[in-house]
Each structure stands twice: as structure tokens, then as C-alpha cells.
Amino acid sequence: MSARLNSVKRGLFLDSVILMQISRTISKLENVEDAAVMMGTPANQEILNNSNLLTDDGKIAKGGDLIIAVRASDEPSAHLALNQATSLIERPVILKEQSSDVLPATLRAALDDNPNANLALISVPGEFAAAEAWKALRAGLDVMIFSDNVSIEAEAQLKQEARKSNRIVMGPDCGTAILAGVPLAFANEVPAGNIGIIGASGTGIQEVVCLIARAGFGISHAIGVGGRDLSDPVGGLSTLTAIELLDSDPATEHIVLISKPPSERVVKVITKAINRSRKFFTVCFLGSADYVLPNNAVSVKTLKAAAVNVTKIQPDTSSAGDLVSTGRAGAKWIRGLYSGGSLSSEAQVILISHGLKVASNSPIVGADLYVEPSAGHVIIDLGDDKYTVGRPHPMIEPAVRDQPLLDAFQDPSVKVILLDLVLGYGSSLDPADHIASLLQQNWNNDPTIIASVTGTEYDPQVFSRQVDILHAAGVYVAPSNADAAEAAVKLLSMQYDS
């Protein structure tokens, strides 16, 4: 009695010549009476059936599937032939499905699976994150802590330990990194290049790397260090390590350092490290006064200025369109509704630089703390806990911005609304479409909306597509977040002029 075996490979396409070679190879195996590797179309199933090769397993195949069919004089020979055909077929195919079959549940299991791993990305509830980070450091790994709610004392201890053991701890609350081209957490797809980024700011890193990429340049590594790294208790330990790493990286020629203003003590430490480095630095401490930096460093005020200083190319304004004031009578305020914290800080920097009084729920030096309700120019960081309790971050769920946007439409004093869209891995797959749908139903071009899109053509959302959707919805899209804020200020002047 012959043994028949079928195996179906779903959605697998191989060259005809290869299919025929595999068919022949397994047909010639010992004790194999007949064998075929065919697309699983109904017509081919009939052929296989007529050749006494089809089994119930094969009958489930569709036209786009591949059937491996074997008939042998005994079952072991049939299994052997089927296994050989399978291995020949699967050799060139992505192992994605297999690798995701079993996910390790612990750090130790992950290391057992992949002993060559050299970095642990930790995203667990904050109270457990420090303990996991310790385990990772002891296992000799660099650590990226995506989790927040880790105490600053724990952060300082972890980073001290990491410095001792020649490792780096990125975070806590480190939302962005691109290491050797691998995007981690919220990050954009950017070309490789000679510019290294160190950032205590997630969306700050994203804005700078995207402006650099859109200017035609590339990134060696973008190292997030966590928003508190340059605070006094932590002392900039991870920033120091990152400077040393990029300084010794032959691929990196220019380093951009982005952070909120550090403490005076930490500035001195960082300045010394920059002075020791052989690389050029562009330093952007958002919202700070000018610092005296070594000769190999330049201080800039905005994220855009950081990108321009490195690339010497201004963002392309050709596709922004015409800025038209559609403001209503009596309207005079800017309302910024931001998903990116650093982008909201940059907007405040611009507004303050024009002498405007600004309030924010996340104020920079020179801005007031926003207390609802209040009139005036307001920049809101919607990533703040107040807006995200029990909800995803607005970069993931653009609907978080809906109600504040509707409120701004209803507020007759708002002349211009500033928005940011942050693209890349982890972010909403089509944020522009969400906004466009909302505008279509609730907005009559008043107040004016100015947006910026942080992203690249290579991102899953595709930068140009998002810009096009916003344009079609009637939104003015500035080439950078700083340009968007400048445009908003310009729009205020347009009202006064007319």
C-alpha cells in the first residue's frame, strides 16, 4: 500500500524552473513512486487526483498556494521526500513567521535565543523597568528603557553602573533611537550617513533626522538618552557615553546634541566632553540662553537650525503652498496642538523670539504655565499625562487631538491653529487622513490651520502622501515645525497689516 503525503505552502511563489527541479529531485528519491510541486489551482488538483497524489491536506490549497505532493512505497520515504522538498522550497523564503512563533518571555530566554544580542529594549510597567534594566546591564547589554515612571534615583544608579561597565542606558522614557540603521520605538526610516544624533528628546530627534534625511543626508546613529539625562541628579551620564561612542565611530563625522536646557553644572561636564572630542558638534538646548561652547561646537536655537547647520540646506518650501489668512474678525491668538513635546517647545521658542507671550502646559524658559481657561497664545503638548491617561499617545492615536481641535474651532479668539504630524514606526499609520476627515466635517477654513509633518518618504506613512492629504484638506503645510511656527507668527502680522 503506497503512502501519499501533501503539504501546502500558502502564498509562496517560486520560479517555474526551480519548481520543476524540486519536482524532479524528489521524484528520484528512493522508494518515491511519483511526486509533484505545483500551484494549487483546481485544475492542478484534478491532475494530482488523477495521478493518485492528492490527499485531503492538498485539497485545501488555493490557486496562489503551492502543493507539494508525494507518493512513496512506504510512509517514512514519503515523509523524507516531503521534508526534502520543503527544505528546498523554504530556503530562500523569509523566516518571519517562524521567528515570531515563539517569543521569549524573559530576558534570559531572549538571550538564550539570541546569544549575540547586545542591546535590551525594555518596555514594561515603570515599577518593573529598573529591575529589568539591572538584569540587562549585568548580562553585559546596552539598555534602552522605553518605560516611564522610573524614579530619577533609580535612573542615576543605573547610569552610574552602566558607565562603570562601559555600557549605555538610553532612557527611561526614551522613545526614539536609530542604531546602525535599526529604528527602535518611535523612529523614522532614514538613509545611512555621517551625522550622529544624541537626544534627550524623542520628537526632537525625529524632527532633526527627518530634516537631515529630506535634505539628502543620512544618519549614522541616533541615540536617545531620556529626557532627564542632563538634569543635575543624573548628570548627563548617558550623554557623555553617547558622545564617546560617536566620537569613536568612524562613520560619524558630525554630532548633533538635542536637549531641553541642562543644569549649569551638567553644561560644564558636557562642554568638557565636546572639547575632548575630535568631531564637530551642533548643540540645540531648546529654549536656553546661549552657551559658550568649544571651537568644535555651534549652538543653535531650534531643531530646524540644528539640521540646517549640519546640512547647510534650508528645508524645501516649494510644496508648502500659499499662506492665506482666513481668520475671523477679532481673532488674534495662536493655538498649538502638539503631539510631540519637543516640537511644542520649539514652537514656543519661535513665538517667544518674536516677542509673543506664550503659555503652555509644558512651558520652556520664558513661557507661562497654561491654566485653563485662559486667553493668549497657547501651545499644548497633548502627549502630557493629562491628555493621555487611559488613552494612547496622540502620535499613536490621532483622535486624542480631536476635542482640543474642535474646541479651538469654536473659540472665536483663535486665529491660527498649529499642528504637528509625527510619522515613522510606532506612529499612527495615516494621521493626515484622520485630521482631513475631522476637518471635512467640522471646519470651514476658519481659523487657519498650519501643520508640519515630521517624517520621510521611507516611513510607513510616506511623507509626501501625508502632506498631500493635508493640502487637499485646506491645511497649509510648512516644511518644518519651526517654519510652521514662523508662518503662524507671520499670519498674525498679516491681520495687523490688513
Partner 1 sequence: MRKTLVPPIRPLSAYRIGRHALRVLANSTRGQVAGVFKGGIYLDLDDNWCCITSRGASAGPANICTPFFGGMDILQGCKVTVSRNRNIIIGRYLRVETVTADLWLPPKIDWTPKTLNLGLNAVDKMCVDSIPECGLSGAVWPVHPRWRRLPAEYYAAMPVIRSLSAWLESSLMSSIVKPPPTNCGDLLGLGPGLTPSGDDFLIGMLIALATIGRLDISAILGDAIEPFLCSNTGPISCLYLKTALNGEANEQLHLMINFVLGGHLRQIRPQLGIISSIGHSSGWDSLAGAMIVLRALRPT
Interaction site with partner 1 (CB under 8 A): 11-17, 19-20, 23, 36-39, 41-44, 46-47, 50-51, 63-65, 92-94, 96, 118-119, 142, 168, 179-182, 189, 191-193, 218, 220-221, 245, 249-251, 457-460, 462-465, 468
Q: Which residues on adjacent β-strands are paired with residue 167?
A: none
Q: How far is the CB of 118 from partner 1 (least distance, A)?
A: 7
Nearer to partner 1, 27 or 271 (CB): 27
Which of 431, 364, 353 has its CA nearest to residue 392?
431
| C-alpha span between 176 and 162 (Å, rounded) | 19
Nearest to 284 by CA among 223, 231, 346: 346
Task: Quote the least distance from Cβ 328 to partner 1, whole Å.
Answer: 32
Between 84 and 456, CB nearer to partner 1: 456
User: Torsion angle, CA of 479/476/388/378, rounded to 10 degrees?
Assistant: 100
Which residue stretches of 141-201 are H helix?
152-164
Tell me the CA end-to-end span of the chain in Å, nearest whole number. Answer: 95
Instruction: Tell whether the torsion through CA atoms of 338, 340, 342 and 346 is positive or negative.
Output: negative
Nearer to partner 1, 223 or 488 (CB): 223
Minimal distance in Å, beta carbon 53 to partner 1? Answer: 10
- Smallest gap from residue 289 Cβ to partner 1 (A): 33
Please, which residue, 146 or 443, has the CB nearer to partner 1?
A: 146
Residue 100: count other Cβ atoms within 10 Å of its Cβ: 8
∠ CA 424-219-107, rounded to 5°:
65
Which residue, 224 or 287, has its beta carbon nearer to partner 1?
Answer: 224
179: Cα within 13 Å, side-chain hemisphere: 18
Smallest gap from Cβ 56 to partner 1, in A, equals: 20
How do strand 297-300 and strand 280-285 relate by DSSP bridges? parallel
- CB nearer partner 1, residue 118 or residue 440: 118
State which residue, 148 or 249, has the beta carbon closest to partner 1.
Answer: 249
- Is 290 within 8 Å of 457 (Cβ atoms)? no
Neighbours of 340 (CB within 10 A): 30
Nearer CB in complex with partner 1: 39/320: 39
Q: How far is the CB of 479 from partner 1 (least distance, A)?
A: 16
Looking at beta carbons only, is 181 or 233 nearer to partner 1?
181
Q: Give CA angle at 190 (187, 193), nearest 5°.
A: 125
Least spacing, CB of residue 5 vs partner 1, in Å:
19
Helix segments in 139-236, DSSP class H:
152-164, 202-214
Q: Which is nearer to partner 1, 58 or 341 (CB)?
A: 58
Pick between residue 416 and residue 469 the one whose CB is nearest to partner 1: 469
| Helix, strand or coil, per DSSP, at residue 134 | helix
14/352 with CB nearer partner 1: 14
Exposed e or buried b for every residue in 421-458, given b needs 16+ CB within 10 A?
Answer: bbbbbbbbebbbbbbbebbeeebeeebbbbbbbbbbee
Instruction: Output the smallest distance, CB 443 to partner 1, in A.
Output: 23
Q: What b/e string do you get for 273-285 counting C-beta neighbours within 10 Å, with b at 16 or more?
A: bbeebebbbbbbb
Starting at the edge strand that comes first in sequence, how are the strands of the sheet with 176-179 ordered?
A: 182-185, 176-179, 219-224, 192-199, 254-259, 280-285, 297-300
Closer to partner 1 by Cβ: residue 46 or 153: 46
Burial label for 350, CB within 10 Å (0-12, 13-18, 19+), is: buried
For residues 118-154, b (16+ Cβ closer than 10 Å) or e, as one string? ebbbbeeeeeebbebbebbbeeebbbbbbbbebeeeb
Tell me which residue of 339, 351, 321, 337 sits closest to 475, measured CA to CA. 321
Q: Which 3 state secondary structure label does DSSP give 389?
A: coil
Min dist. Cβ of residue 253 to partner 1 (A) = 12
CB of 207 to partner 1, least distance (A): 20
Query: Minimum Å distance from CB 226 to partner 1?
Result: 16
The distance of closest approach from Cβ of residue 242 to partner 1 in the complex, given in angstroms and rounded to an integer, is 9
In the bound complex, what is the minimum distance in angstroms from residue 228's beta carbon to partner 1? 21
